[in-house]
Amino acid sequence: MDGRVVQYNMLLNKIILTACFLVFLSGCSESSSQVKPTYKSADLYKNKTCLELNNELSYLEIEVQKMATLVDGSQRDHEAKLAIGWLIWPSYAFIDNNESEAHKLSLLRGEYDAISRLLKSRQCLTKE
């Protein structure tokens, strides 16, 4: 009877360890809505005219949208790999997250915020 109890405890420990590992990995990827902007100083753009700032803002809107789509796509891929990874669970060591894409998105959002602050402080008209 002791042999069965020991095997059962070992199996239970493996299941708990695997579950904890999966919970840990699931937090490694974030959606675009969770990415916060990195602060950028508006001084970088102080020599630009309102027209140049509006053009830069328009360009950044497109780039932010592209990067947000990429971050969300990377997150979906990451979650799919985690979902099927239990079949070959050593593959979890090779699943990457979307940290670099999220960082780029954070920087772009920071630039966008800096230009928006400058436009507002100068009372430039924007295309809202």
The answer to whether residue 128 is domain-embedded is: no
Question: DSSP assignment, residue 28?
Answer: T
**What predicted TM-score, i.e. pTM, was given to this entire model?**
0.68
- Asked whether residue 82 is domain-assigned, the answer is yes
Full residue range of the structural domain in which residue 7 is found? 2-122
Instruction: Establish if 47 belongs to a structural domain.
Output: yes
- Check if the beta carbon of residue 60 is closer than 8 Å to that of residue 107: no
Q: How far apart are CA 9 and CA 112, in angstroms?
A: 55
Q: Could you tell me if residue 77 is inside a domain?
A: yes
- Give the model confidence (pLDDT) of 52-111 as tens digits: 999 999 999 999 999 999 999 888 877 777 777 666 666 666 666 778 888 999 999 999
Question: Per the domain annotation, does 93 fall within a domain?
Answer: yes
Please state the domain count of the chain. 1
Asked if the structure places residue 118 within a domain, the reply is: yes
Give a yes or no: residue 85 inside a domain. yes
DSSP code, position 21? H
Backbone φ and ψ for 37, nearest 5 degrees, come out as: -70, 145
Indicate the angle between helix axes 50-85 and 99-122, nearest 10 degrees: 160
> Is residue 127 a part of any domain in this protein?
no
